[in-house]
Structure 1
Amino acid sequence: MHSLSFDWLAHAPLEPFHLDWLTAAGIEVAILRLDRIDPLISGNKWYKLIDHLRVAREAGAEGVISLGGAWSNHLHALAAAGKHFGFPTVGLLRGHPQDTPTVQDLQAFGMQLHWLGYGGYRARHETGFWQPWQVQYPHLHPVPEGGGGLLGARGCEQMLTQAGQQLNALGWSDHDGWWLACGTGTTLAGLVLAEARRHPVYGVLAVPDDHGVAQQVAAILGECGLPDGGYELFDGSRGGFAKVDPPLLAFIESCEQASGIPLEPLYTGKALWALKLQVDAGRFAPGTRLIFVHTGGLQGRRGFAPLSQG
């Protein structure tokens, strides 16, 4: 990985997000299109990988090993990065072998896969979990599930810079906060670190509260010696991770038709639904300007028939 360069990354455009219910409430929203930085190495997953890959390179690793599920956006981005930059990747997958489009892509990108079952995957947080894998793959650098932790958060800090450089083009002198979906809280933590309490960061939980997102965010801030705070969490899980229902899919379809921006139901769709609920409840005053983060993950749309052809 010695020749790995991070200069290729395309800029994430910041675009007006026009929806009738925002206009009616007098709320301005700009959407940071992380889905457009690259066709394959897409979304917040790349930002979460940047510092992990930098550490792997500095450690002299030849490649990377990480974890995820059969529809994992993280493994998809990692495998695509491995193919793009020419380093080996290994994926440890939850459950038993499945032939999803994501898994087919992982194999096509050259990622070596190991299926852990469900019990084996649950053991990923136990002491000693990585030891046998590091014996089997001594030249690979382990990256936590989803590219999480402080390193993942640090990579996400640059989103503030990218958005800030484009505010003038929208006619904005500043913004009033961020709105984004949360799976582990890593991206939110990165934005909280970058903002340093200048503006609030609003996170919508795509997982139930018992997944410990708030605790993970607090832990990352604590590693930096910062007190917990500067953000607010809303439940958007609809009862569980990957829980999707017809009203949500219909809402996503209507927003896509109105805005021309593709969404997906596990993260961005749920985050947008939660934003509408808060706007309808009068949570934000007219004139509020929010940056909505499109966290990518559009490859996962293939798991939802109504959206798969979008």
Structure 2
Amino acid sequence: MGPFDWLPHASLEPLQLDWLNGVEVAVLRLDLIDPLISGNKWFKLTGHLAQARQAGATGIISLGGAYSNHLHALAAAGKRFDFPSVGLLRGHPQDTPTVLDLKAFGMQLYWLGYGGYRARHEPDFWLPWRERYPHLHPVPEGGGGMTGALGCGVLVEQVRMQLHTLGWADYDAWWLAAGTGTTLAGLVLAEAGAHPVYGAMAVPDDHGVAQNVRAIVQGGYELLDASRGGFAKVDPQLLAFIDTTGQTSGLPLEPLYTGKALLALKQQIEAGVFAPGTRLIFVHTGGLQGRRGLVD
């Protein structure tokens, strides 16, 4: 496989919204790096692709749901860079827009049901898949783990190189959605204590985000619940916020991750957690493809 030397550059843009109340926010636009391999997913994949190449693998096998941004980016990368990919999906067969894309990109799909998918953390989960696909490299859900986190460290460098475009000498903290906590952990590693990282959890506590992060880093971050009742839980307030934000600022959001994260930031600012003059980096982690058909 590979080599994969594509390293996209994400632009840093100021956010203008009335409710910021003097807090300065710059958005790292990972949603704009590529039409298909979008968001933070490529950065998490780079280390796994390197490991696959070193192991002599010919392709990748991984897991996700019917709207998975991770599988979408992986399948798109497989098509672009000409390597086979296999997706193990949560639940039962359904043709969401994401799933239709996975098929069009050439990813081989297997539906595990819900019980079968919950078994993904069992120590022998990968054994039958390794036997069936001995030449494919297994990648954990969402491209997680230390390998995925290390690939996200470059984002800190990209931000620091662009601060002058904002007229900033420095920033105070990071803010981003957390689905597995991998990107957050990568930012914490790269910051090495220089700036704190806030993770707005888009999933409930029982999804294991805190455990995932603790397995990689110790300190330098804070997690808060932004799940609004559960993963993929969408409510009228959230949808109205996403719509208003898009109309007033031009920033597109989706309801699973970025919408929840920015709404949680609004609530924290209104609660006085961040004083006027605070400078924050908000990571737009992409995922816009996943909103197709979901809101309807």
TM-score by length of 1: 0.94
Is 1:284 the counterpart of 2:274? The answer is: yes
Give the 3-state SS of the residue equivalent to 2:86 in structure 1: strand
Give the 3-state SS of the residue equivalent to 1:138 in structure 2: coil
1:140 CA drift (Å): 0.3
Structure 2 counterpart of 1:10, which letter? P
Between the aligned residues of both structures, percent identity stands at: 74
Query: Map of 1:116-135 to 2, 5 A cutoff?
Result: 116-135=112-131
Distance 2:164 2:207 in 1: 38
- Find the counterpart in structure 1 of residue 108 from structure 2: 112
Query: Which of these residues, 249, 266, 275, is aligned with residue 239 of structure 2?
Result: 249
Distance 1:174 1:279 in 2: 20
1:118 CA drift (Å): 1.1
Distance 2:4 2:142 in 1: 21
My pick for the range that moved more, 297-306 or 253-262, is 297-306
Q: Contact conserved, 2:4 with 2:46, CA < 8 A, in 1?
A: no
Uncovered stretches (5+) of structure 1, i.e. residues with no partner: 222-227
Deviation sequence 1:180-225 (CA, Å, 0-9, x none): 000111110000101111111011010011222112111112xxxx
Query: Which of these residues, 26, 40, 43, is aligned with residue 36 of structure 2?
Result: 40
- Find the counterpart in structure 1 of residue 17 from structure 2: 19
- Find the counterpart in structure 2 of residue 225 from structure 1: none
Distance 1:211 1:5 in 2: 31
1:305 CA drift (Å): 4.0
1:37 CA drift (Å): 0.8
Q: Contact conserved, 1:35 with 1:295, CA < 8 A, in 2?
A: yes
Q: Contact conserved, 2:176 with 2:282, CA < 8 A, in 1?
A: yes
TM-score by length of 2: 0.98
Give the 3-state SS of the residue equivalent to 2:216 in structure 1: helix
Distance 1:291 1:31 in 2: 6
Query: Which of these residues, 56, 63, 68, is aligned with residue 59 of structure 2?
Result: 63
What is the RMSD of the two structures over their aligned residues, measured on CA atoms?
0.9
Distance 1:200 1:101 in 2: 36
Q: Contact conserved, 1:66 with 1:75, CA < 8 A, in 2?
A: yes
Distance 2:101 2:44 in 1: 20
Distance 1:121 1:302 in 2: 23
Query: Which of these residues, 131, 146, 150, is aligned with residue 142 of structure 2?
Result: 146
Equivalences, count: 296
Distance 1:186 1:127 in 2: 21
Give the 3-state SS of the residue equivalent to 1:243 in structure 2: coil
Distance 1:10 1:119 in 2: 37
Q: Contact conserved, 1:4 with 1:85, CA < 8 A, in 2?
A: no
Structure 2 counterpart of 1:14, which letter? L
Distance 1:69 1:211 in 2: 14
Moved over 3 A (4+): none
Distance 2:209 2:134 in 1: 31
1:294 CA drift (Å): 0.1
Q: Contact conserved, 1:183 with 1:213, CA < 8 A, in 2?
A: yes
Distance 2:5 2:93 in 1: 33
Structure 2 counterpart of 1:252, which letter? I
Query: Map of 1:1-310 to 2, 5 A cutoff?
Result: 1=1, 3-7=2-6, 9-22=7-20, 25-221=21-217, 228-305=218-295
